[in-house]
Chain A
Amino acid sequence: MRPAVRAEWTKLRTVVGTSWLVLGTIVVTVTLSAFVVTAESSANTGAGVDLTKLSLTGIYLGQAVVAVLGVVAIGSEYGFGVMRSTLAAMPRRSTVLAAKAVVVGGLVLATGTFAVGACLLAGRLILPRHGFTAAHGYALLSFASGPTLRAAAGSVLYLALVALLSLGVAASVRSSAAGIGIVLGLLYLFPIVAAVIPGAHWQRHLQQIGPMTAGLAIQATTNLRSLPIGPWAGLGVLAAWAAGALIVGGLLLWLRDA
């Protein structure tokens, strides 16, 4: 396993795109978060805004770049035919996929920690200037608060799980383009369909099983009762999606010719 991880890390590290994607993840995540906290002021919203969640809005966009990272880790190997060399060198295909998962997951954990930390810092610096102060009943964002720490750590895990889901999907469809379309469809279409489907009951169910709607429950720090699913249970749903995708991808990798 160790040489496999090293090989995958070398591949990922030396591809030009990777550093751009890592940088891109951080930049777009923090940019969207900064935009959202700048556009908001307590005069418009009154009390009861979940500032932690607001500051972490950038994850909605950052996950798309993370998904690219997960998809191209295997999709580009199929695209350029490197997959055949990889499998010739490491005939145990499950090891290949596991090594890719470890490397991509680890890289995204590191990237995500950076991005999430910067988002919360932006929120901490910008929000008080827009009236979200103690005078209006808002506390300064801080890791000392348990729910905020959980939301931050959960958001990092969320990004890593999205990367693993993307890796699994791309291994199943063997194409970057189709893979990214399917992953973004899974992430973004659940909330859209849930918003139009008739019946509150079905809407709630869709939000409970959607990888994004369930997974991002981890970001909520106030009003937890109104969530369709609990924070950790929601992240568990996303983990199940990621595990399912990796298992299917691994099975197909094992069964099919490269």
Chain B
Amino acid sequence: MSDTTTPYRSGLPNGRAGFAQTLRAEGTKLRTVRGWVIALVVAGLLIVVMAAVATFHRQNTFQASPGSPVVVAHPFVPQGPGGEAVTDTFSFVHRPLAGDGSITVRVGSLTGLLAQSSTSHSTSADAQQATRPGLVPWAKAGLIVKEGTKQGSPYAAIMVTGSHGVRLQYDYTHDVAGSPGTIAAAAPRWLRLSRSGDLLTGYESADGAQWTRVGSARLAGLSETVQAGLFVTSPETRPSAQAFSSPSGSSASAVFDHVDLRGQWPEQSWSGGVVGAGTMTPTLTSGGYHQSDGTFTVSGSGDIAPAVDVGSTPADTLAGMFVGLIVVIVVGALFMTAEYRRGLIRTTLAATPRRGRVLAAKALVLGAATFAVGLVATAIAVPLGEHLLRVNGNYLYPVSVFSSVRVVAGTAGLLALAAIIALAVGTLLRRSAVAIVAVIAAIVLPNVLVITAALPLTASQWLLRLTPAAGLAIQQTLRAYPQVDYVYSPATGYFPLAPWAGFAVLCAYAALALGLAALALRRRDA
């Protein structure tokens, strides 16, 4: 009998409930919490400010040897054929070689001197430096064919070393191992280096009759006339396991005889000299040679190898990233835990019942926002920091455009992934404080342990392989070379994983955390 009243229906068409709407909803949530927006902007500013603080008035100092004055200047660092920073200092007894030919020699002995680890009270630069006998592992003596005597020019060399056996090395970064063993009067070593066009081949022999090919090198664009002859050099040494100890010099001395030249050697006498004399790499003696009766005694100090520990990298300008990390982790965790704290999560899930979609939208919005803030900040911070470093007379390692972009964008990606991991962990734990601590401990703490050198090297390297902090490798622009003895520690800019491998570890952690979070969100009541 009674009239049934039709319930009220809005005349407006139904709203769409796609992923775009969820994204928009989450974007609105992020951008309308004033504290979060301020925190993200401040984090970006701090990254830029820290770049200026870390580089303003920074001057790398150099000490040629213990006892000599500390020099504050832009060091001259030669560049090798591949554009990399190199050390190129050695004693060179040479003659021009105009075309194809070969040189054979017997190395009768290789001995060395080490600088005594002097106490700091010796201030006189002219004081005769105390030495003791000793040969460093990478002391080198042998034959070299080099474009010219200019530092950084292409070369190929066959050599005996302190304790790494016979080696064929070329163009600074390449190293081919020959037979092992050390040189003694009873066990001399014969070496031969032959040139044919731009192909150089090294041979070794124990007796001068039976020859073994060690390897060959193609030096593209080698001039017709090159300088070839005998060389000796001996690199600086560092007390092991101490990243920041200052290096001390060493020298080596070798006796060559049975020098045999074949091919197109113009009639000219041997001339001796030091390539790269007066550079700032720690050297012991100025080097020299002595010739009598076909026996050459050559001594030298320095190295022919990639340069280490001479300059700054883009990562040196990005210390502010750690401030940024802490901020984005707090915001990332709160982006989810605040919903639980205030009960908003129930409204959110009522509006978007597909819970995985909510998490995906949150991760996307948060990742995009932190990546954008990070990218703007690092894109300003890195060039600014590099400019200030250069103005202050520091050397910057040559870095390709691709690597620079990788450092800048990778750091922004690091911030985004850290925020997403915090979001996922916040979803899992639903407690902001615990989630924030867990993520900061996983990403920031390993670096604190590494930087403060609280950890020994092996432990540092394992931490930077296994924890999400491995992602920091994306900032690495230096390459470790086994033929240069150096403390290749994360604290000096060498990570145990390659840049993208380290970043992949971080990505894997983010994927794992998001997966677990999606599972938990779907299974649990809100």
Enumerate chain A interface residues (CB-CB to B < 8 A).
Answer: 17, 28, 35-36, 39-41, 44-46, 49, 53-54, 57, 60-61, 64-65, 67-68, 71-72, 75-76, 79, 176-181, 184-185, 188-189, 191-193, 195-199, 213, 216
12 more A-B residue pairs beyond the given contacts A36-B456, A199-B57, with a C-beta to C-beta distance below 8 A: A44-B458, A53-B454, A60-B454, A68-B434, A177-B334, A179-B433, A180-B330, A180-B432, A180-B437, A192-B319, A192-B451, A216-B454
Evaluate contact between B444 and A188: CB separation under 8 angstroms: yes
CA distance A90 to B50 in the complex (A): 45
Enumerate chain B interface residues (CB-CB to A < 8 A).
Answer: 50, 53-59, 240-241, 316, 319, 322-323, 326-327, 329-330, 333-334, 337, 341, 431-434, 436-437, 440-441, 444-445, 447-449, 451-452, 454-459, 462
Name the CB-closest residue of A to B61: A200
Evaluate contact between A54 and B241: CB separation under 8 angstroms: no
Name the CB-closest residue of B to A56: B454
Q: How far is the CB of B176 from chain A (nearest CB, A)?
A: 28
- Cβ contacts under 8 Å, A36 to chain B: 455-456, 459
- Cβ contacts under 8 Å, B341 to chain A: 79
Can you offer 17 A-B residue contacts whose CB atoms are under 8 A? A39-B456, A39-B462, A53-B454, A57-B449, A57-B454, A68-B437, A71-B433, A79-B341, A180-B433, A185-B323, A192-B447, A193-B319, A195-B319, A196-B50, A196-B316, A196-B319, A197-B54
CA distance A178 to B330 in the complex (A): 7
Q: Which of A35, A46, A60, A177 contacts B330 (CB 8 A)?
A: A177
- Cβ contacts under 8 Å, B451 to chain A: 191-192, 195
CA distance A40 to B434 in the complex (A): 30
Q: How far is the CB of A220 from chain B (nearest CB, A)?
A: 11
Most chain B CB within 10 A, of A45, A189, A196, A199, is at A196
- Cβ contacts under 8 Å, A44 to chain B: 241, 456-458
Q: Which of B58, B316, B323, B330 contacts A189 (CB 8 A)?
A: B323
CA distance A65 to B441 in the complex (A): 9
Evaluate contact between B323 and A177: CB separation under 8 angstroms: no
CA distance A167 to B383 in the complex (A): 40
Q: Mostly helix, strand, loop or mixed at chain B's interface?
A: helix
Evaluate contact between B240 and A46: CB separation under 8 angstroms: yes
Evaluate contact between A65 and B437: CB separation under 8 angstroms: yes
Decide: A195 near B437, CB < 8 A? Known: A44-B458, A184-B326, A189-B323: no
Name the CB-closest residue of B to A43: B458
Q: Which of A40, A41, A60, A193 contacts B50 (CB 8 A)?
A: A193
Evaluate contact between A191 and B323: CB separation under 8 angstroms: no
CA distance A136 to B155 in the complex (A): 44
- Cβ contacts under 8 Å, A49 to chain B: 456
Q: Which of A39, A46, A185 contacts B458 (CB 8 A)?
A: A39
Evaluate contact between A60 and B445: CB separation under 8 angstroms: yes
- Cβ contacts under 8 Å, A54 to chain B: 456
- Cβ contacts under 8 Å, B59 to chain A: 198
Q: How far is the CB of B294 from chain A (nearest CB, A)?
A: 44
Q: How far is the CB of B513 from chain A (nearest CB, A)?
A: 18
- Cβ contacts under 8 Å, B456 to chain A: 36, 39-40, 44-45, 49, 54
- Cβ contacts under 8 Å, B323 to chain A: 185, 189
Decide: A181 near B449, CB < 8 A? Known: A44-B457, A192-B319: no
- Cβ contacts under 8 Å, A198 to chain B: 54-59
Evaluate contact between A191 and B452: CB separation under 8 angstroms: yes
Name the CB-closest residue of B to A178: B330
Q: Which of A57, A189, A192, A193 contacts B455 (CB 8 A)?
A: A57
CA distance A137 to B427 in the complex (A): 50
CA distance A180 to B322 in the complex (A): 15
